Amino acid sequence: MDADTLELEVHDLEVPVLTGIYSEETHLPQPLRIALTVLLEAPRRFAPDTPLSASKNYLDLKHAATAALAGAGHFTLIEAVADHIAETLFLQDRRVRRVKVKIVKLAIAEAGESIGITLVRHRR
């Protein structure tokens, strides 16, 4: 029988991150648009008086994509940024089963297009 799950989502976070491989990218933060979808084990039912501990605080997701990146230094690839976010979320809560991180590099868009990556990690 499949376990019940809950997807928590935080989208459209604009975060300055030290990332890039070219010299003009390596010393100034680049703006990234980050979206997270986290698959969490869910209780059998959410009653009206269910406490927050039965779910996960959305601010934990936001923290993993903002404050937790701030002291992490320079990331050569945005894939490494996504991995750092996923690992932070796995460490925060053992109920996290899957993390999907979408990152768009805002600085390289010329006509409003979205250029970036999506990384999906599963708890192992």
Amino acid code (one letter) for 103: I
Backbone angles phi, psi at 47, to 5 degrees: -80, 165
Each residue's pLDDT tens digit, 79-109: 999 999 999 999 999 999 999 999 999 988 8
In the chain, where the domains are located: 5-43+54-122
Question: Domain 5-43+54-122: which topology?
Answer: GTP Cyclohydrolase I, domain 2 (3.30.1130)
**pTM given for the model:** 0.91
Location of structure tokens 């976070």 = 13
For residues 29-40, average pLDDT: 95
HSE-up of residue 42 (Cα within 13 Å, Cβ side): 13
- pLDDT confidence band for 3 (50 / 70 / 90): confident
Name residue 34's beta-bridge partners: 13, 103
E-assigned strands of the chain?
Answer: 5-17, 30-41, 96-105, 116-122
**Residue of 95, 105, 116, 118 whose CA lies nearest to 29:** 105
Burial of 45 (0-12, 13-18, 19+ CB in 10 A): exposed
